[in-house]
A and B are shown apart, each in its own frame.
Chain A
């Protein structure tokens, strides 16, 4: 049975730390970092990457389009 594994790449400097991606993720992958980027925003990052399924929810809802999503099928 195949399982989906995903990963997101956040354009850290472009992220405005709005946090809308956080509740959008069905598996609670994303949190806002304690550090800030060059503009002073707490950027989004994968806190729990191993449960990312690449569903693209976060990217779809991101107002600034700073999330790129990757996904592979993994054989169990």
Chain B
């Protein structure tokens, strides 16, 4: 059994960064996730593993530090919340184009604009549909517990380097701020220079003797070459869609209705389905763990099984529901329910929505 602690989500993620062999964290404070950098600064991991922690002057600077550091083959991470993630979209697009790995955590808060500091799930579009300019996708992991805030960090680094892409961890202010028991994994050693150069020949950390220099860029003024590069990126995304879908089915075996929810909404919905079952309603939860690639196959299988309706529960005005509708293709009922702007829905509200929007009507 690994070390057990009672921790806040944000702090568990910070501790996990150190243990995952992260080489550098470069970030900027913003509520509700400033604990990440505060924890790291207090821990002073340069003494534990040599990990660098730097407070950047902005989120714009942070994401560009990701570009520089990740481009040299180092494991780099940053975190922010919705308005700061918006600032990072330029950098994420550049990193997608130049194929540079990193991990970016978004502890989502109410918006749009400055919004508020309470939890929300209204950054789904921004996260899974690219977010910045150009044709690209980023793998997105959605933790639903403090345990997953820890576990998803090494998973994200693995995905980032396997596919040479930024990976997003999309959490929310509830998961970030709540305290739960977490089993911390053992320290993964930071990679040595030799290991980096052997595994990542594309990394720009000094031209190897007798070899060609490496260039990292997302620019190509020849449209035919740029198109070809985009073909390569699209092939990569197809592979990720085929191989990296992650989801959880809760109580779906006999379910007539399915709630689809991630993050905090999935936790709230677990209580909602408990209440529903007490009333004799057979409802289960499909919890996407990867928001992209979206778990189309299990949804499709549930449709074929004869599920009578899907309720998308998301603290938003309705974003993930569009992807559910694309997958279900009008074969059965799909509706959305969610409180937003930082308001958190209650299990009772979720149950009420299930009854009126899916079971009733």
**A–B touching in complex (CB under 8 Å):** no
